[in-house]
Each structure stands twice: as C-alpha cells, then as structure tokens.
Structure 1
Amino acid sequence: MTEAPEAIRVLLVDDHPSILWGLEKVVESAAPAMRVVGRARSCGEALKAAQATLPDIVLLDLDLGAESGIDLIPELKALGRCRIVILTGARDSDAKRRAVLAGACGFVHKSASADVIVDAITHVHAGRLWLDSDDVAGMLVAMSSADRAKSQRPRRAADELTPAERKVIGAVAQYPSSPNKIIADALHISGHTLRNHLASIYAKLGVRCRLDLVFYVRDHPLDRLSSA
C-alpha cells in the first residue's frame, strides 16, 4: 500500500480578516491534499509565521496596508523551501513584474474561484508557474517600458535623504537579496526602524519596494545625485 503524500503546507497573508477567513475555507476544502499552517496580516507577522511553520506555499497579498508584500518575498525565499503565489485585486502588470523578479511563482486574482486557487497552489507546489498569457504579455511590455524609461527616471536631491537613510540605502545595495533582518543587524537597528527608514526613502526617491530601490541606486549612485 502506497503512503499518502504529505499535505501541502499553506501560509495565508492578507490584511483583511474576512479574506483570510475565506482563503482558509478554500484551502480546507482541498484537505487532505493541503492545509493551512498559519495566517498573518502584516509583513512582520508573516515572516514570524513562516519561520515558525516553514510553509510550502505562501499565498501573499501585495497590498498590506502601509506595507508592500513585494518587500517580503526575498525574506520568505531566504527561508529556503517556500514558493510564493501572489493574491491580487488588480491587473497591475508593473507590480506583477516586480513580484516575479523578486521570486514569486504565480498570481491569483482575489475574485478567482476556489478551484482556481487550489489549482494554483497545487501547480506552484509542483514546481510550475501559474501565469496566464495576459500576465506574461503584460509583464514583457512593462519590462520593456521600464528599460526605455530608465534614463528618464527623475532624480531627487541628495540632501532630502538623512544620513541614516543613506546608510540604509548603502546596506540595501550591498545586500540586495538579503532579508530585512540581516540588513537591520548590519546597521545595528531594529526591523521596525528599518521599515520606517525604507518607507521614507521610497517616498523621497519615488520607488515602491526594495527591488526598485536597488535598480534606482544602480542607475543613480548616491554620490552622483545632484540637487534639484
């Protein structure tokens, strides 16, 4: 008699309790093939839950209130075993492009049926991508447009950045794929302080996540930023 395969371990990350509840019911409907091992409503909660439960799949909302789920992807990937399926409420090709570059393996719209969500989890767990043709085409167009726009990206005055923020940018550029904890430890600050600095930096430089910040610094080194 063959042994039944182990259930796919799923971590749910969304800042809306009602959506978490609905997603949990969807995953439970596919038992014993998969089960929920944790729920989180913020990046900090998600990272702690992932470290504690070691999920196979993280179903991640990109919009976590004041936080971007994209910034969480490298930290989740650093745990070594989980694959990430993005939960999205909008057809935002740019966000999808950045999520894929950060390590996401698929996308599921929040309006998708339970069967589609279960299929996405199953396929990504098996090592396949879950992207439709429109996703692929949209990301290719977005990536091409981004490349053409690099030289037109506006520069912000260097004096808008505080010394602490410049140190954070330097550390992010030095450790582009490292979890926030490693960067915070290198700077001798807390994870909360690092996230506050990053939020301020994003606003000043007009970027939306760590991946964008790395690209920005690559194209516009801090020592070359000129005053407006």
Structure 2
Amino acid sequence: MSTPITAARLTRAAGMSAVAAGLLFIVVHVVQPYEDVATVTTTAWRVTHILGLAMAGLALVGISGMYLRQVTQTGRLGLIGFVLFGSFFLLITGSQFVEAFVLPSLADQAPQFVSDFLAIPTGGVIVGEVWALVTVNLLTGATYVFGGLLFGVALFRAGILARWAALLLAAGTALALLLPLLPNVLDRLTGVPVGVALAGLGFSLWREQRTAANDMHTPSRYVQRS
C-alpha cells in the first residue's frame, strides 16, 4: 500500500529541504572559487554553482513550507517577507544557472562580458553595457536583506518555529549591509549565519510536525470508567 500524501508529510519534507538548503548555503559561500575569467572553466566552478542552484530550489521549498505552516500567525508582515525572500531565491536560481552553464562556454568567445558579469557583485570595474544586470544584482541584494529581515521577524513574532533561528535569519541577512565595510576575507563568512538559520528553522519545522503527528497517533493512557 502506498503512503498517502498529507499536508503534514509535505510540511516535514519542506523542513528537510530547508535543512539541506541551509547546509548548502554555507558550503557554497565557503568554497566559492576565486571569481575571474580563467576560473569559470574549471570543474570546481561548475560544481559550486550547481550546488548553488540546488540550494536555491531547496530553499524555495523550505521557506514555502515555513510560511504555509504559520500563514495566519505571521500576517501581512510574513507575506511581504516571504514574497521578498522567495524572490531572492528565484533570482539566485537564474544567476546560478548562468554561472554554471553559460559563463563557461563564453569564457573564450566573450571574455570581456564574463569579466563584467563577475565584476558586478564584487564592485569591480565594468567596461561593457551590462547595466541591466547591475539592476538585477541590486534587486537581488535588496530582496535578500529586506526579505530575510522581514521574514525572520515575522517568524520570530509567530513563535511556532525556533525563535533563535528566526532571529539569526533576520540578523544574518541584515549583516549584508556591512559588506562594504568588511575585509574581503570575511565576505564568505557572512553567509554562515543565514545558512545556520535556514537549517535551524527547517529542523524546527520538521520536528514540530513530527511531534504533532506522534501526538495524534498516541493512544490515550486512560480509559473512561462507566
């Protein structure tokens, strides 16, 4: 007999997706290869951005489960935060796909375009006309900071999932505002708090649903006497 698909099972799966996304978020930030034209043709570059693509997809599933589990409790703030934070991962999906599958094939044919593309998030020198991509990068940064901040605050206020993880999500995404003031060596570490927060929230969601399911199927210890 096949296992029935229920809302509780889907929510637990969303929790595990968030855990996986959080761990991948940390890995991708820590092992990110040096960004230059020569590096984009390496295996390490392609593998890293394929992992980034998987991370974005899993995160979308994870935060969707978090939001749907407490849609009433988070209210409008939760909706705004979810839409913004979800938009960030949608934008990341597109950029990770380009970096994994498009840039390597353009490294020899259009090295200047690849160089400009890589210079956008790092604030490097841009030569070509890639201002549409600059706008997308600014939008990505804004949805990350404000989406993560609002979504984390909404989850914290709802009080259903782990509050420490919700607070860490809000603080971790807001930390990106300090990137221009931090040494380059610390840039990669700023993603660690957000990865830990996603994993913590995902595990909290999985455990909360598992506990609810166990309570539902636990027989009563007491039998009413006539």
Please confirm whether the aligned pair reaches a TM-score higher than 0.5, indicating the same fold. no
Task: Decide which structure has the larger Cα Rg and report it.
Answer: 2
Q: Which of 1 and 2 has higher RCO (CA within 8 Å, sep 6+)?
A: 2
Flag the structure with higher strand content: 1
TM-score, with normalisation over the residues of structure 2? 0.29
